[in-house]
């Protein structure tokens, strides 16, 4: 079989964090039946695919990103039959399903790790990354964990250290081992045969470490800060060229692409972090024999300022070549975009719509995070309400993941926003989100939700916005602007990144027609060239002809 189409190119993907989407059995935790219950709602958005964060069997030390059985659904999310039913229903609605595969590490409760740690000679002794201590008993090198402290933990039975890029409960798989690679491919086959449309590959930049275990050098503190972590994390002081982000990952992407190509119309989406996540993401999607898509932290880790936007696009376009990126402005690991952009409270709706229009008009596919279509700001949680080990470890300088993982608000008059009928949800529901609930916005033609539906639908009719080229324009504060073009049709896209009104003069080398269906907060004067923008206004202009 070969790939028959490129449905993923220009696709709009909706990320679901299942714990917080909808709880159907009353245990306070979202589940697979809850996702199926809301498929009609998701279909109404006009999305092309759903990415579901891990729902596999897990001790939940890192809320599913510590897998103990890759082929089993964790009981808190339902049963494998629930997934099969969800998949069939989604396909009936022409929605693709992408599942989140965590192949860089497992849970320490996985049977593979139990066997691996028994001794140095068992059948799975080399399935994880083990290393001897230095002569003084300290870890083999200076590598650090995302969660703070060394990336090595001592195991008394084996009398060796094992590598973990995250929690000590998440030992790193040895993807240099052909047996491990084969097992990963067999897991992929299990889900592909079921009919899933693709995989989101978690932390692909950590797949293969430096086999010589060399120390990471010190990062230049005058360089751009890393986008995938706060400066309060000591890992930010290292240039991670040996522990992760190595060129050895690329051959693995090529093997995975060749393997997945045996099934029709499947997609591989990789998460690329690191000091230069744009360059890394670009390297994973070059040509037609690596990943289909990758996403970086250039916008996820930024404040979405004018400088952030333009510098990220420049870095991407310099390195992307014929590759294809998947943009995102929010996900389950960062503060929600409406809060990061720093909009005044009375302009949060306008800021949410600006982020929507900007993200959906970049060159690439776009991944929106649950609740982004409602304009949800970051929930403010007290320390005692935190659940995430990363937030807890780095509190108070970093408290960004749990506040973006609170339950979806479905109805303003129901307990916990209609997320669950249990006494309490797994994480506290943030009451201010009720005012932005789906029920509240569903029939409001000027709601954030209505604008998302309209923009996504209109975007499908304009190839220039969906799959066209991009040319970043020089523009003065507070604007960013670019031209998208496909099939000799150009669209000029202009965004006021400021909470203050401002004016923009259109280029004089052409005539323009305002695309009113997707523009907001703008007015054109009699000259036809000067455009007045409201706070966070944005305008889309079709070229009628060049002068």
Residues carrying an active site annotation = 202, 271
Tell me how far apart the alpha carbons of residues 100 and 120 are, in angstroms, rounded to a whole number: 31
Which residues neighbour 160 within 8 Å (Cβ) at sequence distance 6 or greater?
120, 130, 131, 132, 133, 154
Contact 383, 29 (CB under 8 A): no
Of the candidates 487, 367, 458, 448, the residue with the CA atom closest to the CA atom of residue 11: 367
Angle at 49 between CA 454 and CA 389, to 5 degrees: 105
Which residues neighbour 406 within 8 Å (Cβ) at sequence distance 6 or greater?
20, 379, 381, 427, 428, 429, 430, 433
CA distances to 153, 380, 461, 493 from 484, in Å: 50, 38, 14, 8
Exposure of 411 by Cβ count < 10 A (0-12 exposed, 13-18 middle, 19+ buried)? Answer: middle
The dihedral region occupied by 321, where left means phi > 0, alpha psi between -120 and 50, and beta the remainder, is left
Question: Which of helix, strand or coil describes residue 355?
Answer: helix
CA distances to 42, 348, 387, 531 from 121, in Å: 50, 59, 38, 72
Which residues neighbour 505 within 8 Å (Cβ) at sequence distance 6 or greater?
529, 530, 531
The helix (H) or strand (E) run that includes residue 541 is strand 530-546
Contact 63, 18 (CB under 8 A): no
Contact 483, 512 (CB under 8 A): no
| Helical residues (DSSP H) of 321-382, grouped into ranges | 337-340, 348-359
Backbone phi and psi for residue 240, each to the nearest 5 degrees, phi listed first: -85, 70
Rg (CA), the chain: 23
Tell me how far apart the alpha carbons of residues 375 and 436 are, in angstroms, rounded to a whole number: 7
Would you state the structure tokens that stand for residue 226, as one six-digit string? 């890393």
Of the candidates 88, 7, 12, the residue with the CA atom closest to the CA atom of residue 46: 12
How many C-alpha atoms does 206 have within 13 Å on its Cβ side?
24
Tell me how far apart the alpha carbons of residues 497 and 311 are, in angstroms, rounded to a whole number: 14
Q: Is the peptide bond before 396 cis (omega within 30 degrees of 0)?
A: yes
């Amino acid at each position: 079989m070969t790939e028959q189409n490129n449905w993923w190119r220009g696709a709009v993907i909706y990320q679901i964090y299942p714990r917080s989407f909808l709880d159907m059995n009353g245990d306070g935790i979202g589940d697979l039946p809850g996702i199926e219950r809301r498929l009609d709602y998701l279909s109404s958005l006009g999305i092309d695919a759903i990415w579901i964060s891990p729902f596999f069997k897990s001790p939940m030390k890192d809320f599913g990103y510590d897998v103990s059985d890759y082929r089993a659904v964790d009981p808190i999310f339902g049963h494998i039959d629930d997934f099969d039913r969800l998949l069939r229903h989604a396909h009936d609605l022409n929605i693709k399903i992408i599942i989140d595969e965590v192949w860089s590490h497992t849970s320490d409760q996985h049977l593979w790790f139990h066997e691996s740690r028994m001794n140095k000679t068992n059948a799975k002794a080399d399935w994880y990354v083990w290393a001897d201590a230095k002569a003084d008993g300290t870890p083999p090198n200076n590598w650090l964990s995302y969660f703070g402290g060394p990336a090595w933990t001592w195991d008394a039975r084996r009398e060796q250290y094992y590598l973990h890029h995250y929690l000590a409960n998440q030992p790193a798989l040895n993807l240099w081992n052909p047996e491990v690679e084969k097992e990963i491919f067999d897991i992929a086959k299990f889900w592909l045969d079921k009919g899933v449309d693709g995989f989101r590959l978690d932390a692909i930049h950590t797949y293969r470490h430096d086999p010589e275990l060399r120390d990471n050098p010190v990062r230049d503190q005058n360089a751009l800060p890393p986008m995938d972590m706060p400066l309060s994390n000591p890992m930010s002081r290292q240039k991670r060229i040996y522990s992760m982000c190595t060129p050895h990952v690329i051959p693995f992407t090529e093997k995975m692409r060749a393997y997945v190509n045996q099934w029709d119309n499947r997609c591989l989406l990789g998460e690329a972090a690191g000091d230069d996540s744009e360059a890394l993401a670009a390297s994973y999607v070059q040509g037609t024999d690596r990943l289909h898509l990758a996403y970086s932290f250039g916008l996820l880790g930024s404040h979405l300022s004018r400088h952030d936007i333009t510098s990220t696009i420049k870095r991407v376009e310099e390195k992307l070549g014929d590759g294809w990126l998947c943009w995102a402005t929010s996900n389950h690991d960062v503060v929600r975009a409406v809060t990061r952009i720093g909009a005044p409270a009375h302009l949060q709706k306008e800021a949410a719509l600006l982020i929507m229009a900007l993200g959906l008009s970049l060159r690439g596919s776009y991944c929106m995070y649950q609740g982004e279509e409602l304009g949800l700001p970051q929930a403010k949680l007290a320390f005692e309400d935190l659940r995430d080990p990363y937030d807890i470890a780095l509190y108070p300088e970093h408290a960004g993941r749990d506040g973006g993982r609170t339950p979806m608000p479905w109805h303003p008059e129901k307990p916990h926003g209609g997320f669950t009928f249990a006494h309490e949800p797994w994480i506290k529901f943030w009451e201010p989100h009720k005012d932005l609930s789906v029920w509240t916005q569903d029939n409001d033609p000027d709601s954030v939700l209505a604008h998302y539906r309209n923009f996504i639908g209109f975007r499908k009719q304009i190839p220039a916005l969906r799959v066209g080229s991009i040319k970043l324009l020089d523009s003065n504060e507070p604007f960013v602007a670019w031209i998208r073009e496909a099939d000799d049709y150009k669209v000029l896209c202009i965004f006021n990144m400021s909470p203050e009104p401002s004016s923009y003069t259109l280029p004089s080398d052409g005539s323009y027609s305002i695309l009113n269906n997707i523009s907001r907060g703008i007015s054109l004067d009699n000259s036809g060239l000067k455009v007045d923008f409201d706070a966070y206004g944005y305008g889309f202009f079709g070229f009628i002809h060049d002068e």
